[in-house]
């Protein structure tokens, strides 16, 4: 440290001014960088290091010989031993690519309609798209079971009644079914990412193309989409990683036809307690390698980041594309897209919640519906506690995630020294399985002599690690669109580094920050696997209460609880949309 | 813009306020196991005289009050079912407070092992089965060897002498069928019936029930049991997990489902009109509900109090009504729906006859899941 200070002093014109040198060494920017780095190392590098280290050990973190210098490749041998790993990996590749494609196409289309066109009811479209996030994750495959099961699915039963045949229109248990359902669940995330990107695009660029003779669709293809490329690339990577580690949908829907993905294979191979952390870590090493490759590719893609900056010191307008005679067809197509994304699953859950067990819609069933499941759901022990805990943890996690993501994105987007390290640290968690995060933090919180275990803080810290990769990509993509000349102008005018970020960058980041906060809140409500390792009797979240219900009983109760959760989160989503509208961000009502 | 400005001021203030709130919230009060006085730290009350037992229980109650009357309960089942039971315990001992930790079996076992390894044991009692017995008691030596008085007159096949637990009740595994799709006369009566080609693809197998699988192998013998399972699997059952099988059976996704336990959940669905019938096979696999007092329990007096109550007449006669399970003590009130079950030959699956856990998992998965 002394050497660094003296070196700096020497470079300050050769005079050994200690105060000036210290002032430079502890410049706000460096202090902030050091703090962010320290926090991210603790949040991310420690669980990742545990993962890598444990994959080479034949001991658990709490064993006496865990820190011995004996390493082994036995876990890797076990991973390959069954011979299924290659087959499962190929299945997962198809599953992940297919889901990502479905989500990208539908999510980008919806974002374009809402942010860039004058389609009717676009505010409602925006709300309905993101409202799917409020449906508890485990209920989506349940709803689709009763929608598209070959034997009892309502769609197939209706098809058979219509055609008089005994065929199946759509089999939800097939690979196509898994891909479609998983892709549909990722549409809101893609939409949120891409709509913030589309919202900030300068329409004068498209107008210039049209003046030069290009048609509207050509302007979209040659101007809008390329400019949105970094954002779309970021969300494609996130969607791919989330599809890769997706568990509920492949497990619940894939079991019947024995379609196993990476996540369900890990579950099968490691279901013997205590958890085989060595084997789980080994599987995760492969995921980490995949994530690093994708991060490297994305980084190369963004090498010339400044050319994607569309928010600059010059004034810009974001006029909508006039669809003309295509307004009504686009509205119809958009509605048809929303049917499988949200309307069908939600209506199915509503139907489930009003019946004691699943029955085909019909007059008899309609005349005997009841609200008993709602009464039972409301009487669920600890329901209010669960919601309040999720709300508290979600808000605190959102503050942490947004602060760390913003600062890391700024250092990275401005290509400052150490920025890429921060970028890497906020990306790595996308490859960390929730089980590893849960077990790592369980161990850390019990070993470290601080009263964190089983408190809200334990969940906040773990959730930041789980969520920062998703939100970090969103904020990074938006940050790339903001030209550095804006905060440079502020600093030239005398503003400090932090003031420039707070008054210039943060307001321009608002759409991404709001979307990131929303994603954090929703994921906090839905997160289960890590929570089961860390929640105590007083910190049970809504997801844990839901998990209890799943073990207890009838789907009607679960569906009712899910509808109640949905209604509560819907209030938050409407608030988010109104806030967007007031801030002039597309997608508001 | 004004809204954005307000947000920039309000957000940090709100975060600080919430952070202060969170500081005071949550648990995190694990402590070292409290030491019980020698006269209370006994391993068994089975051989105590009535007078000795009364004095012991009085001492336990006082010690329980002194340690705060908390019972930290870990169970992989829903809070609703455990709370129903423990609320009856609290009715008898009103100073007791329940702190319930739920989770999957894997997560709970992981937590207990890690907590104890770090010297911060938190659980007083864990409810589970042979898996917990094998892992926590036999492998990790974390269970308290304690025999409550209520175990003294249990028949040998229900006493579970080698377990670091008390078995308070048990439940049984059955074949269920949809009566709208299968006439009673044609319903399968035994597991062997499901190897008939007429059932090909028409029945569901619950892949969560490893205990049932181990129980059948123990009852029939390893070779005969594996052969039966393979012939059942050859009939291409539909695999499902957990509770969604009941809904699918009621909806008609498949005609028959097994193994399902005939507990409150099934009874509730039948009472609601679900077209489900329960078949009791000539030999019924029974799984004991095991209650494990922890050696390092932070509240040892309340823990012992709970174990005594569990095996007492007070609870044994309420099991049927409260949780629709069969009490372990012969002669105690049983659920009306269980009367037919007790006419069959019960075979109890135990830790001793379970077999090697890893082997059973591999066998079960290769037969029914991975193929």
* pLDDT digit string, tens, across residues A161-201: 999 998 999 999 999 999 999 999 999 989 988 888 787 77
Mean pLDDT along residues A38-45: 90
Of A272, A396, A552, the CB nearest to B361: A272
Comparison of pLDDT for A190 and B159, the residue scoring more: A190
Flag whether residue A251 sits within 8 Å of chain B, measured between CB atoms.
yes
Comparison of pLDDT for B156 and B128, the residue scoring more: B128
Residue A11, pLDDT > 90, answer no
Residue A537: closest CA among B199, B14, B71: B71
The alpha-carbon gap from B160 to the nearest alpha carbon of chain A, in Å, equals 22
Chain A residues within 8 A of B105 when measuring between CB atoms: 273
For all residues of chain A together, what is the average pLDDT?
84
Of A62, A251, A256, the CB nearest to B238: A256
Residue A298: closest CA among A473, A143, A529: A473
* Minimal-distance CA residue of chain B relative to A453: B28
Mean pLDDT along residues B143-152: 94
Report the residue of A253, A386, A453, A516 to disrupt the B interface, i.e. the one with the largest count of B CBs within 10 Å.
A453
* Same topology between domain B8-164+290-323 and domain B170-287+335-368: yes
Residue ranges of A 332-351 with Cβ closer than 8 A to chain B: none
Chain B residues within 8 A of A579 when measuring between CB atoms: 3, 7
Comparison of pLDDT for A65 and B192, the residue scoring more: B192
Report the residue of A63, A385, A452, A532 to disrupt the B interface, i.e. the one with the largest count of B CBs within 10 Å.
A532
* Minimal-distance CA residue of chain B relative to A538: B26
Flag whether residue A81 sits within 8 Å of chain B, measured between CB atoms.
no
Would you list the domain boundaries of chain B?
8-164+290-323, 170-287+335-368
HEC profile for chain B? CHHHHHHHHHHHHHHHHHHHHHHCCCCCCCCCCCCCCCCCCCCECCCCCHHHHHHHHHHHHHHHHHCCCEEEEEECCCHHHHHHHHHHHHHHCCCCEEEEEECCHHHHHHHHHHHHHCCCCCCCEEEECHHHHHHHHHHCCCECCCECHHHCCCCHHHHCCCCCCEEEEEEEEEEEEECCCCCHHHCCCCCHHHHCHHHCCCEEEECCCHHHHHHHHHHHCHHHHHHHHHHHHCCCCEEECCCHHHHHHHHCCCCEEEEEECCHHHHHHHHCCCCEEEECCCEEEEEEEEEEEECCCCCHHHHHHHHHHHCCHHHHCCHHHHHCCEECCCCCCCCHHHCCHHHCEEEECCHHHHCCHHHHHHHHHHHHHCC
> pTM value?
0.86
Flag whether residue A171 sits within 8 Å of chain B, measured between CB atoms.
no
The alpha-carbon gap from B50 to the nearest alpha carbon of chain A, in Å, equals 37
* Minimal-distance CA residue of chain A relative to B241: A252
Mean pLDDT along residues A221-233: 76
Residue B5, pLDDT > 60, answer no
Question: Are the Cβ atoms of B22 and A551 closer than 8 angstroms?
Answer: no
What is the pLDDT at residue A24? Answer: 60
Comparison of pLDDT for A161 and A4, the residue scoring more: A161
Flag whether residue A146 sits within 8 Å of chain B, measured between CB atoms.
yes
Q: Which H or E element spans position A408? A: helix A383-413
Mean pLDDT along residues B326-349: 87
When mean pLDDT is compared across A37-41, A212-216, A491-495, B243-247, the lowest value belongs to A212-216
What is the pLDDT at residue B9? Answer: 52
Mean pLDDT along residues A3-27: 55
Mean pLDDT along residues B304-318: 94
Residue ranges of B 125-164 with Cβ closer than 8 A to chain A: 131, 135
CATH 3.40.190.10 fits B8-164+290-323, yes or no: yes
* pLDDT digit string, tens, across residues A498-553: 888 888 889 888 888 988 998 899 889 888 889 988 999 899 998 888 887 777 66
Chain A residues within 8 A of B239 when measuring between CB atoms: 255-256, 258
Of A62, A457, A533, the CB nearest to B117: A62
Report the residue of B86, B120, B251, B368 to disrupt the A interface, i.e. the one with the largest count of A CBs within 10 Å.
B251
Chain A residues within 8 A of B274 when measuring between CB atoms: 356-357
What is the pLDDT at residue A519? Answer: 87
Q: Please give the interface size between A and B, counted as residue pairs whose CB atoms are below 8 Å apart.
A: 208
Residue ranges of A 276-335 with Cβ closer than 8 A to chain B: none
* pLDDT digit string, tens, across residues A131-155: 888 888 888 999 999 999 999 999 9
What is the pLDDT at residue A78? Answer: 84
Please, which pLDDT band fits residue A276 given cuts at 50, 70 and 90?
A: confident
Chain A residues within 8 A of B83 when measuring between CB atoms: 381
* pLDDT digit string, tens, across residues B222-264: 999 999 999 999 999 999 887 788 889 999 999 999 999 877 7
Give percent of chain A with pLDDT exceeding 90: 33
Question: Are the Cβ atoms of A146 and B357 closer than 8 angstroms?
Answer: no
Mean pLDDT along residues A73-91: 85
What topology is assigned to B170-287+335-368 in CATH? D-Maltodextrin-Binding Protein; domain 2 (3.40.190)
* pLDDT digit string, tens, across residues B270-296: 988 999 999 999 999 999 999 999 999
What is the pLDDT at residue A553? Answer: 62
The alpha-carbon gap from B199 to the nearest alpha carbon of chain A, in Å, equals 16
* pLDDT digit string, tens, across residues B71-103: 999 988 777 778 888 889 999 999 999 998 988
* Minimal-distance CA residue of chain B relative to A581: B3
Flag whether residue B105 sits within 8 Å of chain A, measured between CB atoms.
yes
What is the pLDDT at residue A588? Answer: 39
Comparison of pLDDT for A571 and B259, the residue scoring more: B259
Comparison of pLDDT for B284 and A280, the residue scoring more: B284
Question: Are the Cβ atoms of A538 and B27 closer than 8 angstroms?
Answer: yes
Please, which pLDDT band fits residue B11 given cuts at 50, 70 and 90?
A: low
Chain B residues within 8 A of A533 when measuring between CB atoms: 103, 107, 110-111
Please, which pLDDT band fits residue B30 given cuts at 50, 70 and 90?
A: very low
Chain A residues within 8 A of B19 when measuring between CB atoms: 396
For all residues of chain B together, what is the average pLDDT?
87
Chain B residues within 8 A of A260 when measuring between CB atoms: 370
């Amino acid at each position: 440290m002394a050497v660094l200070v003296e070196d700096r002093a020497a470079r300050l014109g050769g005079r050994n001014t200690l105060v000036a040198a210290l002032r430079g060494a502890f410049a706000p920017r460096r202090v902030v960088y050091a703090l962010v780095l320290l926090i991210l190392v603790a949040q991310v590098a420690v669980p990742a290091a545990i993962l890598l280290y444990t994959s080479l050990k034949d001991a658990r973190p709490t064993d006496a010989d865990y820190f011995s210098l004996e390493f082994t490749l036995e876990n890797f041998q076990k991973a390959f031993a069954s011979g299924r790993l290659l087959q499962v990996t190929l299945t997962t590749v198809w599953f992940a690519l297919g889901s990502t494609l479905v989500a990208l196409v539908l999510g980008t289309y919806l974002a374009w309609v809402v942010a860039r066109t004058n389609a009717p009811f676009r505010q409602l479209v925006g709300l309905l798209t993101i409202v799917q996030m409020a449906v508890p994750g485990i209920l989506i495959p349940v709803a689709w079971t009763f929608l598209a099961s070959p034997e009892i699915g309502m769609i197939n039963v209706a098809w058979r009644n219509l055609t008089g045949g005994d065929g199946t229109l759509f089999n939800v248990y097939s690979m196509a079914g898994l891909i479609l359902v998983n892709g549909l669940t990722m549409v809101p995330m893609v939409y949120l990412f891409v709509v913030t990107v589309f919202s900030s695009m300068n329409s004068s660029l498209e107008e210039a193309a049209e003046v030069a003779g290009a048609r509207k669709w050509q302007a979209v293809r040659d101007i809008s989409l390329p400019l949105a490329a970094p954002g779309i690339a970021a969300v494609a990577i996130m969607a791919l990683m989330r599809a890769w580690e997706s568990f509920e949908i492949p497990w619940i829907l894939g079991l019947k036809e024995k379609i196993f993905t990476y996540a369900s294979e890990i579950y099968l191979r490691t279901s013997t307690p205590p958890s085989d952390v060595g084997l789980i870590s080994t599987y995760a090493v492969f995921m980490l390698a995949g994530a690093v490759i994708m991060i490297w590719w994305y980084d190369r893609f963004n090498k010339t980041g400044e050319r994607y900056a569309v928010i600059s010191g010059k004034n810009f307008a974001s006029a909508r594309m006039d669809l003309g005679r295509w307004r009504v067809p686009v509205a119809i197509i958009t509605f048809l897209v929303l049917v499988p994304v949200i309307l069908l699953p939600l209506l199915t859950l509503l139907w489930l919640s009003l019946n004691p067990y699943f029955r085909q819609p019909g007059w008899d069933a309609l005349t005997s519906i009841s609200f008993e499941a709602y009464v039972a759901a409301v009487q669920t022990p600890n329901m209010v506690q669960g919601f309040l805990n999720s709300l508290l943890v979600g808000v605190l996690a959102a503050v942490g995630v947004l602060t760390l993501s913003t600062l890391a994105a700024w250092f990275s987007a401005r290509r400052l020294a150490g920025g890429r390290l921060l970028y890497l640290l906020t990306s790595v968690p996308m490859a960390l399985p929730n089980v590893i995060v849960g077990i790592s933090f369980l161990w850390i919180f019990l070993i470290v002599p601080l009263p964190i275990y089983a408190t809200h803080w334990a969940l906040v810290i773990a959730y930041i690690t789980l969520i920062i990769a998703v939100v970090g990509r969103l904020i990074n993509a938006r940050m790339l669109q903001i030209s550095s000349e804006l905060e440079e102008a502020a600093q030239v005018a005398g503003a400090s580094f932090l003031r420039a970020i707070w008054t210039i960058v943060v307001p321009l980041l608002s759409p991404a920050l709001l979307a990131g906060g929303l994603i954090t809140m929703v994921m906090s409500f839905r997160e289960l696997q890590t929570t089961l390792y860390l929640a105590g009797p007083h910190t049970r979240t809504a997801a844990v209460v839901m998990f209890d219900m799943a073990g207890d009983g009838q789907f009607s109760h679960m569906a009712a609880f899910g509808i109640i959760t949905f209604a509560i989160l819907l209030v938050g989503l409407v608030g988010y949309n109104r806030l967007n509208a007031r801030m002039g961000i597309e997608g508001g009502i | 813009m004004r809204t954005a400005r307000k947000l920039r001021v309000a957000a940090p203030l709100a975060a600080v306020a919430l952070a202060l709130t969170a500081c005071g919230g949550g648990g995190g009060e694990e402590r070292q196991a409290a030491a019980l006085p020698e006269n209370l730290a006994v391993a068994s009350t089975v051989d105590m005289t009535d007078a000795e037992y009364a004095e012991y229980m009085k001492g336990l109650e006082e010690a329980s009050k002194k340690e705060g009357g908390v019972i930290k309960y870990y169970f992989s089942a829903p809070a609703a079912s455990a709370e129903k039971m423990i609320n009856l315990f609290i009715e008898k001992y009103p100073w007791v407070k329940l702190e319930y930790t739920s989770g999957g079996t894997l997560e709970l076992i992981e937590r207990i092992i890690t907590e104890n390894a770090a010297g911060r044991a938190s659980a007083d009692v864990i409810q589970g089965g042979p898996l917990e017995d094998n892992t926590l008691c036999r492998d990790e030596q974390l269970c308290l060897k304690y025999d409550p008085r209520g175990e003294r007159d249990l028949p040998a096949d229900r006493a579970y002498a080698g377990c670091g637990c008390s078995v308070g009740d048990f439940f049984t595994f059955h074949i269920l069928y949809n009566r709208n799709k299968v006439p009673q006369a044609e319903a399968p009566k035994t597991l062997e019936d499901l190897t008939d080609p007429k059932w090909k693809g028409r029945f569901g197998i619950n892949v969560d029930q490893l205990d049932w699988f181990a129980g059948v192998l123990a009852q029939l013998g390893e070779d005969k049991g594996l052969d039966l399972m393979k012939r059942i699997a050859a009939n291409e059952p539909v695999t499902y997990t957990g509770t969604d099988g009941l809904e699918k059976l009621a909806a008609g996704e498949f005609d028959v489902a097994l193994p399902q336990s005939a507990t409150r959940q099934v009874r509730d669905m039948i009472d609601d009109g679900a077209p489900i019938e329960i078949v009791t096979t000539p030999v019924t696999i029974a799984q004991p509900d095991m209650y494990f007092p922890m050696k390092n329990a932070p509240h040892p007096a309340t823990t012992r109090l709970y174990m005594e109550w569990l095996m007492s007449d007070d609870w044994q006669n309420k099991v049927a009504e409260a949780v629709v399970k069969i009490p372990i003590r012969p002669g105690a009130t049983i659920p009306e729906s269980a009367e037919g079950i007790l006419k069959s030959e019960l075979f109890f699956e135990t830790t001793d006859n379970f077999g090697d856990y890893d082997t059973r998992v591999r066998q079960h998965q290769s037969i029914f899941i991975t193929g």
